[in-house]
């Protein structure tokens, strides 16, 4: 008597009992095409706004998100507030800015793209020679056709960013530099949204709103976060509590952690920082400092089945809010599951990171990865077999009664493997990794076996 029961035998009349049950995996997005298009449309609204770490552009951005997520809790913290080693800077706002060349022609015009202005520029309205002006110009000789994105949050500067080719064509003479900005005591804007579950254990989803018109490395993050929150609010089954955090990169999490560190360290079991989730060229993974948290394991598992050739980065390649979440005295298990990672694609932090770079497919793929990760976290469980020795599976309708030649189908093999490895220590995720299949092919099967009384859930 062998466990390798036959069901590939040739029979003219199929035997119904031998049919492999059809395993339905939950379709995560009922109409993927529609969702991708909706995401892209939302991103288009966010893209043109001039954001920085503070200011009305940020307020406007959070307002657009709140229009989608009415329970979004928008908060402000005054300039000058100390948070850990940091001090909230003055609020920056800008209305207009441009250079006039010697012929009176407007160049580096804020109205054409907000990238032209050094972010956080102090106000200026002055005449100066080209030589004097050069100290205030920023360009990229290696990428002479794109406008770089640059900032000076904590040292007072003013400046203009422009394509290197345009800069080289500037004629000698007198220029006028005009920046109608203000740098005054105000507030820093951030928001959070808590989607309650059945337990206090939390999944943290973080993203940022501080870059002006950049698409992959800015607008994609709040877009995917918004649609992930909508998916949960509209009924995606979940037992964990979900906490969304949206604020300026770096100082946003620092503000938030300064208020909620103890709570987060106690409750967060996994987290995802949404950055660079908009283009369609790659999937990328950046680990926590430890590299082996539940978030790391789930993230790698999901990517290895959805995009087996995904790029694996090191924590040394960090650069977004994982720098705060994974810092030594914070230690939250937050990973980045990205499309093309910041600093690795040529358009990064230039005017080429625009609406053409990102796509409905890119955004939807990132959404899908995070939905799978959430679904995997929600459905992972550890079981222990209840019988001594294998159960008599055919009696439980978990194996064909006709034993035969050439081994089990993958459905029956999965039943056998779940039972064989469920020793009270291996989780379904462990078993999925051992047998090399997606965790989401095992949920329903494990539940079926549990319903027969052959597995007992122990976590």
Complete DSSP assignment for 327-375: STTT---EEEEESS-TTTSTTTTBTTSSTTT--HHHHHHHHHHHHHHHH
In the complex, minimum distance from the CB of residue 257 to a copy of itself, in angstroms, rounded to a whole number: 6
Backbone angles phi, psi at 229, to 5 degrees: -65, -45
Give the three-class secondary structure for 441: helix
Is the CB of 36 or the CB of 253 nearer to a copy of itself? 253
Among 69, 99, 205, 251, binds a copy of itself (CB under 8 A): 251
CB 305 within 8 A of CB 353: no
CB of 40 to a copy of itself, least distance (A): 24
Q: Is 438 in the site for a copy of itself (CB under 8 A)?
A: no
Of residues 92, 149, 158, 227, which one binds a copy of itself by CB under 8 A? 149
Cβ closest to a copy of itself, residue 164 vs residue 301 = 164
Site size for a copy of itself (CB under 8 A): 92
User: Which of the residues 368 through 407 are near a copy of itself (CB under 8 A)?
Assistant: 384-385, 387-392, 394-395, 401-407
- Let me know: does 355 contact 432? Beta carbons within 8 Å: no
CA neighbours within 13 Å on the CB side: how many for 287?
16
Non-local (6+) Cβ contacts of 178 within 8 A are: 96, 97, 98, 99, 100, 124, 125
CB of 237 to a copy of itself, least distance (A): 29
For residue 300, give the 3-state DSSP assignment.
helix
Among 139, 181, 273, 354, binds a copy of itself (CB under 8 A): 139
- Sequence-distant (≥ 6) Cβ neighbours of residue 331 within 8 angstroms: 265, 289
* Shorter beta-carbon distance to a copy of itself: residue 140 or 338: 140
Binding mask 150-179 for a copy of itself (x = CB under 8 A): xxxxxx-x------x---------------
Q: Nearest distance from residue 354's CB to a copy of itself, in Å?
A: 15
Pick out residues in 253-282 that bind a copy of itself (CB under 8 A). Answer: 253-254, 257-258, 261
Span near a copy of itself by CB under 8 A; candidates 58-66, 251-259, 358-366, 367-375: 251-259
> Binders of a copy of itself among 184-223, rule CB under 8 A?
210
Q: List the interface residues with a copy of itself, window 27-66 (CB under 8 A).
A: 53
For 22, phi then psi, to 5°, come to: -80, 125
Q: How many CA atoms lie within 13 A of 168 on its CB side?
A: 8
103 vs 262, beta carbon nearer a copy of itself: 262
Residue 268 to residue 263: CA distance in whole angstroms = 8
Segment lying near a copy of itself (by CB under 8 A), choices 59-67, 142-150, 224-232, 374-382:
142-150
Give the x/- contact pattern for a copy of itself in 99-138, rule: CB under 8 A. --------------------x-----------x--xx-xx
Does position 318 interact with a copy of itself (CB under 8 A)? The reply is yes
- The span from the CA of 232 to the CA of 375, in Å, is 11
What does 25-93 look like in DSSP terms, one character per residue?
PP-S-SSHHHHHHHHHHHHHHHTTS---SSSHHHHHHHHHHHHH-TT-EEEEEETT-EETTEEPPPEEE
């Amino acid at each position: 008597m062998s466990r390798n029961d036959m069901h590939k035998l040739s029979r003219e009349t199929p035997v119904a009992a031998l049919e492999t049950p059809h395993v339905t995996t939950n379709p995560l997005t009922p109409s993927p095409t529609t969702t991708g298009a909706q995401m892209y449309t939302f991103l288009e609204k966010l893209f043109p706004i001039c954001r920085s770490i503070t200011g009305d552009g940020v307020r406007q951005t959070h307002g657009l998100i709140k229009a989608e997520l009415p329970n979004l809790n928008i908060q402000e913290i005054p300039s000058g507030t100390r948070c850990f080693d940091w001090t909230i800077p003055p609020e920056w706002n800008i209305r207009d800015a441009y250079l006039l060349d010697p012929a009176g022609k407007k160049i580096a015009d804020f109205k054409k793209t907000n990238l032209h202005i050094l972010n956080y520029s102090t106000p200026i309205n002055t005449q100066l020679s080209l030589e004097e002006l050069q100290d205030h110009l920023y360009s990229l000789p290696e990428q002479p056709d794109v406008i770089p994105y640059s900032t000076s949050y904590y040292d007072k500067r003013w400046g203009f960013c422009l394509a290197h080719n345009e800069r080289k064509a500037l004629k000698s003479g007198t220029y006028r530099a005009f920046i109608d900005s203000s740098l005054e005591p105000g507030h820093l804007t951030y928001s959070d949204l808590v989607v309650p579950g059945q337990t206090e254990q939390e999944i943290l989803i973080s993203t940022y709103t501080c870059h002006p018109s950049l698409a992959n490395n800015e607008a994609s993050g709040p877009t995917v976060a918004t649609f992930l929150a909508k998916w949960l609010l509209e009924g995606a089954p979940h037992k964990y509590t979900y906490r969304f955090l949206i604020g300026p990169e770096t100082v946003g999490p620092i503000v938030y952690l300064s208020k909620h560190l103890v709570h987060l360290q106690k409750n967060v079991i996994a987290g995802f920082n949404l950055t660079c989730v908009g283009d369609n060229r790659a999937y990328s993974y950046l680990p926590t400092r430890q590299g082996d948290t539940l978030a790391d394991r789930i993230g790698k598992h999901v990517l290895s089945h959805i995009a087996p050739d995904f790029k694996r980065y090191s924590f040394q390649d960090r650069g977004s809010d994982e720098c705060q979440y994974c810092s030594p005295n914070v230690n939250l298990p937050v990973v980045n599951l990205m499309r093309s990672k910041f600093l690795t694609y040529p358009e990064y932090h230039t005017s080429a990171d625009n609406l053409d770079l990102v796509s409905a497919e890119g955004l939807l793929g990132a959404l899908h990865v995070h939905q799978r990760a959430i679904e995997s976290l929600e459905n992972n469980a550890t079981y222990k077999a209840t019988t001594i020795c294998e159960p008599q599976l055919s009696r439980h309708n978990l194996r064909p009664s006709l034993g035969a030649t050439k081994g089990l189908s993958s459905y029956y093999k999965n039943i056998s493997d779940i039972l064989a490895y469920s020793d009270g220590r291996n989780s379904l995720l462990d078993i999925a990794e051992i047998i090399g299949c997606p965790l989401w092919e095992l949920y329903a099967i494990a539940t079926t076996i549990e319903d027969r009384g052959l597995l007992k859930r122990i976590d």
